[in-house]
Structure 1
Amino acid sequence: MKARTYLLGGLILILGAIQLIPNDLPEVQSTNPGDIFVSGLLDDGMHQILKYTCYDCHSNETAYPWYSHVAPFSWLVAKDVREGRDELNFSLWAEYDMMEKLKKLDDISIEVGEGEMPMEIYTVIHPGAKLNTEQVKEIVAWAENAMDIVAEEEE
């Protein structure tokens, strides 16, 4: 019994101590003039789907939940957001050249179509972000149509 008390006390002490390690969450910006929504590539409905299911990791408009400020979860959230923004940042859409836009739209079509996005770990914690079959089809169709629009704009 005494060993169990020491073990529990030690665990609490460690969890308390790691809270002192600085949290390096990527910055949130609510004003993003280069956002994909401004580009005219998507309507309000598609914008809402993307905003609800993708923007936490793939934009500068991340809505950090309470657990993102508690170590060690904060480290995972920060890592996922950094990697997500590096891969695709809807807030910086205007900064991508035509080839980057086409590649990112193709990746969206493939990743969403194959059920790789949104990530399962995200939908477990945010079940409302899980895409249904119809939403998957809508996103894939939108991404493929947007590729045609982007290619035409550059001609």
Structure 2
Amino acid sequence: MKVWQYLVGGIAVIGIAVQFVPNELPAVESNNPGDLIGSGIVSEEISGILKTSCYDCHSNETQYPWYSNVAPVSWLVSKDVREAREELNFSTWQDYDMMEQLEKLDDIAIEVKEGEMPLGIYTVIHSSAKLDDAQRQLIVEWAEATMDVVVEEEEGTEEEIE
């Protein structure tokens, strides 16, 4: 019985000690003038899906839940959000050039179609972020159609310059 007491006590001490390991969550910014949704190429329906299923990781508007401040979970949340923003950040959409936007849209279509996004580890806790088949189809169709819009906008910009 004493062994269990020492084991539980040791785990508790370690659990408390890891709370003092510094971990900085990626910053949250609500003013994002280069945001995808503000670009005019997203319908209200798609905007809602993206906000619910993608923006916590892929934007500067992350809404951190309470457990994101508790180690070691905070380390995973911090890592996942950093990596997600590096891969695709909707808040800086208008900073991407045309080729980057096309690449991101193609990646969105593929990842969503194949069920790779949103990540399963995220939807286990955030069930409202899970996409049903109809939502997946809407996102894929939007991403594919938006690739044409991005190219047309670029061509229109080039014609204005000439």
> TM-score of the superposition, structure 2-length normalised?
0.95
In structure 2, the partner of 1:137 is 137
Matched to 1:124, the amino acid is V
Q: How does 1:89-104 map to 2 (within 5 A)?
A: 89-104=89-104
1:61-113 Cα offsets, whole Å, 9 max, x none, are 00000000000000000000000000000000010000000000000000000
In structure 1, the partner of 2:126 is 126
* % identity of equivalent residues: 63
In structure 1, the partner of 2:75 is 75
How far did residue 43 of structure 1 move? Answer: 1.2
Matched to 2:43, the amino acid is D
Q: How does 1:40-55 map to 2 (within 5 A)?
A: 40-55=40-55
Q: Secondary structure at the match of 2:60?
A: coil
How far did residue 55 of structure 1 move? Answer: 0.3
* Runs of 5+ consecutive residues of structure 1 not aligned to the other structure: none
Matched to 2:18, the amino acid is I
Q: Secondary structure at the match of 1:58?
A: coil
In structure 2, the partner of 1:147 is 147
Matched, 1:27 2:27: yes
Matched to 1:8, the amino acid is V
In structure 2, the partner of 1:63 is 63
Matched to 1:47, the amino acid is S
How far did residue 44 of structure 1 move? Answer: 1.3
Matched to 1:14, the amino acid is I
1:123-146 Cα offsets, whole Å, 9 max, x none, are 001111100000000000000000
Pair member with larger Rg: 2
Supply the distance in 2 between the matched residues of 1:59 and 1:26 (Cα, whole angstroms).
10
Instruction: Tell me the C-alpha RMSD between the 2 structures.
Output: 0.5
Matched to 2:20, the amino acid is L
> TM-score of the superposition, structure 1-length normalised?
0.99
In structure 2, the partner of 1:111 is 111
How far did residue 23 of structure 1 move? Answer: 1.9
Structure 1 runs (4+) greater than 2 angstroms displaced: none
* Runs of 5+ consecutive residues of structure 2 not aligned to the other structure: 156-162
